[in-house]
Amino acid sequence: MIESKTQLEQAVADLLVTTLNLETQADDIDPVAPLFGDAGLGLDSIDMLELSLGVSKQYGFQLRSDAADNVQIFASLRALCQHIDKNCVR
């Protein structure tokens, strides 16, 4: 069962699908499922770079590829959205 998404989680799920040209629908992305590896969406490091660029353009702050906490930031849609919410320039 997929957990319900916040408005930001739905927006970032939409961004994920469009930025990475995923065949998965944004509504089908579980906010607590892993984004990377076989257990989740199966994204890889190239996908992380593309997603970082998309987030930077959309939300006005830069995600660094060498940041020590990237594993936690990109752990799930919910974790990514919490990071966006904390750092977003509004």
Break the chain into its structural domains and give their ranges. 7-87
pLDDT at 90 over 70: no
The whole-angstrom separation of Cα 11 and Cα 51 is 13
Q: Give residue 45's pLDDT.
A: 86
Using one digit for the tens of pLDDT, what is the confidence trace for 41-84?
889 889 989 999 999 999 988 888 778 888 899 999 999 999 99
The architecture CATH gives domain 7-87: Orthogonal Bundle (1.10)
**pLDDT-above-90 percentage for the chain:** 66
Beta strand ranges found along 1-90 (DSSP E): none
Q: Give residue 62's pLDDT.
A: 87
In DSSP terms, which residues pair with 48 in a beta bridge? none
Q: Give residue 68's pLDDT.
A: 85
Cut 0.95: pTM above it: no
Dihedral sign from CA coordinates of 22, 26, 30, 31: positive
